[in-house]
Each structure stands twice: as structure tokens, then as C-alpha cells.
């Protein structure tokens, strides 16, 4: 599935332009205090344009009108930035709404099955879903096993296996069963499904502000209040110097001094951060979770189903006696051709990986012997009379001995070696001869070691939690490349390690998919549940990975850091911008009364009127020019806080001072000719 979306698609831009005007409603604008101050200034200058005597203004009509238009454009540009960021989330929400359909459900009522609308289903109802049918609502499989197509939700075409019990029983409404039949217990009422929550959550307009954003808003509002007091005081200061400072001029000064640039882009940065997470198929329940991901110090990972596949897979063929590895593989494959279990399929996969040919003709007409708890082995009886078996070592030894066969002297040592490494040994025998051992182990997902190495470079500690014994846990931890592990862990152990890390002032992320992971997911600062996991896990987490790829935490962390870096960079740029604008407007206002202020007119602007208008125009157009940066974000590189501060000051601090000097001067050259 393509993860990239066009930032400026025609429909999104058109809707954003419309929203820019709708957001002029003061009840909406008051949510952004800085731009609300600009809107008040716009209303005042609008009144002064047509009723100049209202505030005894002596500025010409054309000046008041131009200031009014520039202030309106400034507000519209800020609204456009926010609406554009919201637009991508709403576009995805609209596509999800198309996915949501009223499906006919086969509800089980006593001993009968009746067809009802999916909208009539309630939590606790049990439905029967057969091949080709849509799952009518979120639920858990309570009986049966089926292959489910979740592409409508995740975008991935590969079907997933859902079965009763364990950590792969959760199903999502709107997905389709493509094989077999399952009974599902509905776990949500109408309007409360996972799809409903996705629709509401991806609509950025409903995003709550994060603590960091609230703190930054407080700082920006404090600066706005300070400059408001300064501007009001300037009026009296000007009277003392016999300088008439009209209200439109003071409003223009205030708008240029307060941090309008970051004020206009702040919401867009936060919404775009959540949207970038969604583009990686991770559903963030709140902006706080995305932002917290940027400061993560420790990640707790559940082993089964997260770091490993959760099924024991064939990883090696070990010959015993005088046998060869290829012989062990050949007979293991013959016994597994009709074996549909994960272990059986993994034997055939290992044969392909090793490059050994598989002779399917031997087993084609044989009688498959299924695994039974009593015999603890499975296999096939060939047409030529030979019997092939694979199973527990002691069970195979007894079976061979019963047929008069001998036990290879190195069988016990080989099986003990596999067991001591945390694996499961399966012996392979044909009639009265044991050929070797299949080494089964819980396989680490590809690329995990490299991903954990990336986390280490980002300064993030990885801890694996597993219920396995210490020896098995150590083997998996070494293979996966995690920094630490906790063996034989219970749910309370996972919570304990999270609290221990948090007590040291660290932010902790947790990934998991099982019901037993739910308490830890809720305790963690960032809890990421796998979509393949249980309902309990997804409800406890504040993020859900729709692709069930635990290594994706790296992208989430990078996006969180990118969000913080983008906000910091644009805040630095905005404040530096204001410094340059001081040199444009203040000298222009007082040069006539105080000739000595000419020394501050370093830009050599044409006239007081053109200086004020040029600064206002630059103040307006810089917002849309920075929208792509706010939406895309600053490129993330794993560097220290000190390096990041130096980089921000050098690029965005210095750039924020230089760019306005150049921009305002160029605009003034044009404006001065016209004025």
C-alpha cells in the first residue's frame, strides 16, 4: 500500500480555502489566541476604514484599507494552514466512511440462526461468519479458524489467520472471511467500533493539544500580552514626543511584534504530526502519544507475536548416526507435505531455503497420520509400506524400539543440545531407523536486530519480556539484539519494569498484542498494540499498529522527534523574524520626531508608510511559505539536544533574522514606488 499522499491535492486545497473563511467565526478563532488578537485588529481597522472618526484616526483611507486587507489575508493564511493539515485527516476519514457499510449478520439465537442488520447487533451477541461474508462488527473469535482479508482496514492484501483463543482472536468489522467459518462474539455497540474510532481520530480537528503544545502556547500568549502592553504604552510615549501614533499604525505594529508566524502554524504542525503517523498505518489515539514518542528512552517489547512469530518454526536439520542432513530434510519433508500445521509448513520452507529438492511423489498417495496427544507424533504411511514419523524424541524412540530398531548413540546429546538452547527437538524416523532431529524454535522476525540497533543509536534502550525460561529468553534476546530481557515474566512484572523506568524520569513505550499485555500498555507513556492482537490490548493502548509490525516503533519515535524538532525550529524562526521586523517599523514610526533613530533604520526603507505596509505584507506571506515545512516536518537526524539547539539557532535563528531583512526590503522597493 502506498504510504504517501499528496499534500496539496486539488480537493483538499479547495476544502481548505472554504474552511479558511468559515474559521473566521470568532467562536472558532478564540481557540487560537494569537490569531484572535489579529482578528480583533482586523475588525478595528475595518471600522476605521469606513468610520475614521471613531478613533480620531488621521491616517488616509487607502492606508487603513490596505492594512485591513493585509490583516484579513494574514488570518486566512493561518486558517488555511490549519485547514490544510486537517484536510488530509478528513480525507482519510471520508475514505474509511465508505468502507463502513450496513452488513447483514447471521446472529445466533439459541439453536437457530437469523439474519439481522449489523446496526442491530449489540455487545455480547454471537454471529456466524462464513467464507465470502463480511464480519459485521468488532469482536473475538470464540469458535473456529479462518483466513481474514483485512485490506479494507490495513491496506495489506495478505490475509491473516484468526482463531479462537490466544492472541489472534480479535476481528474488525468491515473485514472479509475468505476461507472456513468462525463464530464471533461482538465486543462493541453501534458507533463504538474500531472503525468508528478510526474515523473520529484521524479527523485532526478533534485533536487535543499536548502538554508541550500547551506550554508553548502559554509562552506565546505571554509574549503577546507583553507586546500588547508595550504597544498601548507607545501611544502615550508618542504623545510625549509629539508623535501622533494612529490606531491602524499601532495595530500594524502589534501584529508584526507578536509571534503570528508560529501562532498561525502551531495547530498545523501538531495535526500534521498525527497525520504522518497515520500514513505509516499507525492509528494514534491522541497527539500526546505522538509527541511523547519523540522523547522515549525505553521500549518494552513482548516477545511472542511481537519480536518472534509466536509459532515454533523449523530452523535446522540435525543428522544422527550415519545419516546426512539432506536425508533428514527429505524424510522430514515427506512427513510434512500433508501437514497443515505451522511446524509442518515451516519444514517445507526450510527445505526451500537450504536448496534441497522435495520429492512429492512419495507422499502423494500415502495416508496422512495426524498428530495426537496420546502418540505425540504425526507422519505418513507410504504406498510401498514404509512408515514415516516425526514427533517428540522419546515418543519416536519408543516407536522405533517397538519395531526392533536401534537408537543412535548421539540422539540424546543432540536433542538435549536443542532443548538447552530453548528449542524443541522433533525426531524423524522411517520404520526402525531414526535419521535425525528437526530443530524447532520461535523464530525472530526478519530485520529485528537491525531495527534494535537503530533504536540504540537513537539512545533508546530495548527490554524484551517473555514467559520463557531464562535460557530460552537469553537465546532469543541474543538473536534479536535487545539490550536486556526479563524471563518468566508475568503481567505484573511488565508493569513493575515500566514503573521502575518511569521512576528514573524516563518515558517508556510498550508494544504488545495479548490480553496479558493490556495492563502494561495502559501504564506506558506510549502503548502500541498490534492490530492482530486482542480487543483488550487495543483498548488499553494509545496507538494501534494496523500492520502488526512492532519494529514500526522506530518510525513512530522518529515522527515524534520530528514533530518536536519542527515546532522548535519554526518557533525559533518566528521569534527571530520579529527581531528583524522591529528594525523595520520602530525606526519608521519615530524617525521624524527622533532623528537619532535613523541609525536603526538599517534597511533604509523608503518611508514610514511603506515600512509599515512592507512589514505587514511580509508577516502575512511568510505563513503560507512555511506551510510545506510545517506539513512535511524537519528532517529527523539522531543528534543530541545541544547539537539540535545549535542547529536551530544557526539555521532557523539566523535565517529568521536574515530572511525578513531581505524580504521586507524587496517588498518596500515595490510598495514605496506605489505609495
Flag the least confident range among 382-386, 481-485, 587-591: 587-591
- Write the CB contacts of 185 (distance below 8 Å, at least 6 apart in sequence): 124, 125, 126, 139, 140, 142
Query: How far apart are the C-alpha atoms of 36 and 528, rounded to whole Å?
Result: 37
Would you say residue 5 has pLDDT above 50?
A: no
Residue 23 assigned to a binding site: no
Indicate the helix (H) or strand (E) that contains 200.
Answer: helix 194-202
* Greatest distance between any 2 Cα atoms in the chain: 119
Backbone angles phi, psi at 25, to 5 degrees: -55, 120
Taking residues 571-586, report their average pLDDT.
82
545 annotated ligand binder: no
pLDDT at residue 201 above 60? no
User: Of the given ranges (63-72, 249-258, 534-543), which has the lowest mean pLDDT?
Assistant: 534-543
- pLDDT tens, position by position, 84-106: 767 766 665 665 566 566 678 89
Q: What is the mean pLDDT of the chain?
A: 81
Catalytic residue check, 302: yes
Of 275, 302, 442, 578, the catalytic one is 302
> Residue 179 and residue 165: Cα distance in Å, rounded?
18
> DSSP labels for 614-625?
HHHHHHHHHHHH
What are the tens digits of pLDDT across the range 521-568?
Answer: 888 888 888 877 777 777 788 888 877 776 677 788 888 888 888 888
Q: Is 409 assigned a ligand-binding role in the annotation?
A: no
Distances 571 to 564, 574, 638 between C-alpha atoms, Å? 11, 5, 20
Structure-model confidence comparison of residues 153 and 405, the more confident one:
405
Q: What DSSP state is assigned to residue 30?
A: T
Looking at residue 233, the DSSP 8-state letter turns out to be: H
**Does residue 233 or residue 469 have the better pLDDT?**
233
The pTM of the whole model exceeds 0.75: no
The answer to whether residues 568 and 269 touch, using CB atoms and an 8 Å cutoff, is: no
The per-residue pLDDT for 9 is 62
pLDDT of residue 197: 65
CA distance linking residue 159 with residue 380, whole number of Å:
29
Contact call for residues 110 and 166 (beta carbons, < 8 A): no
DSSP state, 383? Answer: T
Map 534-581 to HEC letters: CHHHHHHCCEEECCCCHHHHHHHHHHHHHHHHHHHHHHHHHHHHHHHH
The pLDDT, as a whole number, for residue 495 is 86
Beta strands (DSSP E) in 43-111 are 104-109
Rounded Cα distance, 663 and 617, in Å = 10
Q: Cell numbers 480487543 label which residue?
A: 535
Alpha carbons 60 and 71: distance in angstroms, whole number: 17
pLDDT (0 to 100) of residue 2: 39
Of the given ranges (137-146, 317-326, 449-458, 548-557), which has the lowest mean pLDDT? 548-557
Three cell numbers at 384?
A: 510401498
343 is in an annotated binding site: yes
pLDDT of 543: 86
Give yes or no for residue 3 having a pLDDT over 50: no
What lies within 8 Å, CB to CB, of 416 at 6+ separation is none
Residue 377 marked ligand-binding: yes
Q: Domains in the chain and their CATH numbers?
A: 10-92+202-278+557-672 (no CATH), 122-189 (2.70.150.10), 295-307+445-546 (3.40.50.1000), 322-429 (3.40.1110.10)
Instruction: Please give the share of the chain, as a percent, with pLDDT higher than 70.
Output: 86
- Cα–Cα–Cα angle for 436, 440, 441, nearest 5°? 150
- According to the model, what pLDDT value does residue 651 have? 87
On the question of pLDDT at 42 being above 90, the answer is yes
What is the model's pLDDT at position 56? 66
Amino acid at each position: 500500500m502506498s504510504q504517501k499522499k499528496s499534500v496539496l491535492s486539488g480537493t483538499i486545497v479547495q476544502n481548505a480555502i472554504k474552511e479558511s473563511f468559515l474559521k473566521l467565526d470568532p467562536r472558532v478563532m478564540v481557540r487560537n489566541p494569537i490569531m484572535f488578537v489579529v482578528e480583533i485588529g482586523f475588525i478595528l481597522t475595518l471600522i476605521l476604514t469606513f468610520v475614521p472618526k471613531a478613533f480620531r484616526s488621521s491616517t488616509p483611507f487607502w492606508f487603513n484599507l490596505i492594512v485591513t486587507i493585509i490583516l484579513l489575508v494574514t488570518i486566512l493564511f493561518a486558517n488555511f494552514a490549519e485547514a490544510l493539515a486537517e484536510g488530509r485527516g478528513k480525507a482519510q476519514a471520508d475514505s474509511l466512511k465508505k468502507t463502513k457499510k450496513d452488513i447483514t449478520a447471521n446472529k445466533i439465537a439459541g439453536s437457530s440462526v437469523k439474519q439481522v442488520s449489523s446496526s442491530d447487533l449489540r455487545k455480547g451477541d454471537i454471529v456466524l461468519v462464513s467464507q465470502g461474508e463480511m464480519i459485521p462488527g468488532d469482536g473475538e473469535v470464540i469458535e473456529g479458524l479462518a483466513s481474514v482479508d483485512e485490506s479494507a482496514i490495513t491496506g495489506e492484501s495478505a490475509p491473516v489467520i484468526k482463531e479462537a483463543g490466544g492472541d489472534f482472536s480479535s476481528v474488525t468489522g468491515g473485514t472479509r472471511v475468505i476461507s472456513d467459518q468462525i463464530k464471533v462474539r461482538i465486543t462493541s455497540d453501534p458507533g463504538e467500533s474500531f472503525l468508528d474510532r478510526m474515523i473520529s481520530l484521524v479527523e485532526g480537528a478533534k485533536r487535543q493539544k499536548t502538554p508541550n503544545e500547551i506550554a508553548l502556547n502559554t509562552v506565546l500568549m505571554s509574549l503577546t500580552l507583553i507586546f500588547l502592553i508595550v504597544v498601548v504604552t507607545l501611544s502615550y510615549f508618542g504623545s510625549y514626543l509629539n508623535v501622533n501614533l494612529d490606531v491602524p499604525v499601532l495595530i500594524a505594529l502589534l501584529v508584526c511584534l507578536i509571534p503570528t508566524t508560529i501562532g498561525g502554524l502551531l495547530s498545523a504542525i501538531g495535526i500534521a504530526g498525527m497525520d504522518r503517523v497515520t500514513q505509516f498505518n499507525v492509528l494514534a489515539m491522541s497527539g500526546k502519544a505522538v509527541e511523547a514518542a519523540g522523547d522515549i528512552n525505553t521500549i518494552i517489547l513482548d516477545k511472542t507475536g511481537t519480536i518472534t512469530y509466536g509459532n515454533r518454526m523449523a530452523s535446522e536439520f540435525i543428522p544422527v548416526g550415519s545419516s546426512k542432513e539432506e536425508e533428514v530434510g527429505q524424510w522430514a519433508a515427506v512427513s510434512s507435505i500433508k501437514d497443515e500445521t505451522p511446524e509442518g509448513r515451516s519444514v517445507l520452507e526450510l527445505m526451500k531455503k537450504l536448496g534441497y529438492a522435495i520429492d512429492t511423489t512419495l507422499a502423494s498417495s500415502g495416508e496422512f497420520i495426524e498428530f495426537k496427544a496420546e502418540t505425540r507424533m504425526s507422519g505418513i504411511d507410504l504406498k510401498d509400506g514404509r512408515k514415516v514419523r516425526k514427533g517428540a524424541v522419546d515418543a519416536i524412540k519408543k516407536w522405533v524400539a517397538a519395531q526392533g530398531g536401534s537408537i543412535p548413540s548421539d540422539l540424546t546429546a543432540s536433542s538435549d543440545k536443542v532443548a538447552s538452547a530453548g528449542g524443541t527437538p522433533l525426531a524423524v524416523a522411517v520404520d526402525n531407523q531414526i535419521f535425525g532431529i528437526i530443530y524447532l524454535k520461535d523464530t525472530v522476525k526478519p530485520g529485528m536486530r537491525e531495527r534494535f540497533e537503530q533504536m540504540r543509536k537513537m539512545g533508546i534502550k530495548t527490554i524484551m519480556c517473555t514467559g520463557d525460561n531464562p535460557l530460552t529468553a537469553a537465546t532469543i534476546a541474543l538473536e534479536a539484539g535487545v539490550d536486556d530481557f526479563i524471563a518468566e515474566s508475568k503481567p505484573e512484572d511488565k508493569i513493575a519494569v515500566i514503573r521502575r523506568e518511569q521512576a528514573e524520569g524516563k518515558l517508556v513505550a510498550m508494544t504488545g498484542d495479548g490480553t496479558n499485555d493490556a495492563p502494561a500498555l495502559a501504564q506506558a507513556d506510549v502503548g502500541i498494540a498490534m492490530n492482530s492482537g486482542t480487543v483488550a490490548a487495543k483498548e488499553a493502548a494509545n496507538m494501534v499498529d494496523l500492520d502488526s509490525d512492532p519494529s514500526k516503533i522506530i518510525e513512530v519515535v522518529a515522527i515524534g522527534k520530528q514533530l518536536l524538532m519542527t515546532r522548535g525550529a519554526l518557533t525559533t524562526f518566528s521569534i527571530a523574524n520579529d527581531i528583524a521586523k522591529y528594525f523595520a517599523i520602530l525606526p519608521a514610526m519615530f524617525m521624524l520626531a527622533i532623528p537619532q533613530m535613523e541609525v536603526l533604520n538599517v534597511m533604509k526603507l523608503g518611508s514610514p508608510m511603506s515600512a509599515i505596509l512592507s512589514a505587514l505584507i511580509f508577516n502575512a506571506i511568510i505563513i503560507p511559505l512555511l506551510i510545506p515545512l510545517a506539513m512535511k516536518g524537519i528532517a529527523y537526524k539522531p543528534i543530541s539536544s545541544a547539537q539540535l539547539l545549535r542547529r536551530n539557532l544557526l539555521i532557523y535563528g539566523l535565517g529568521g533574522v536574515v530572511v525578513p531583512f531581505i524580504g521586507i526590503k524587496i517588498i518596500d522597493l515595490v510598495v514605496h514606488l506605489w505609495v
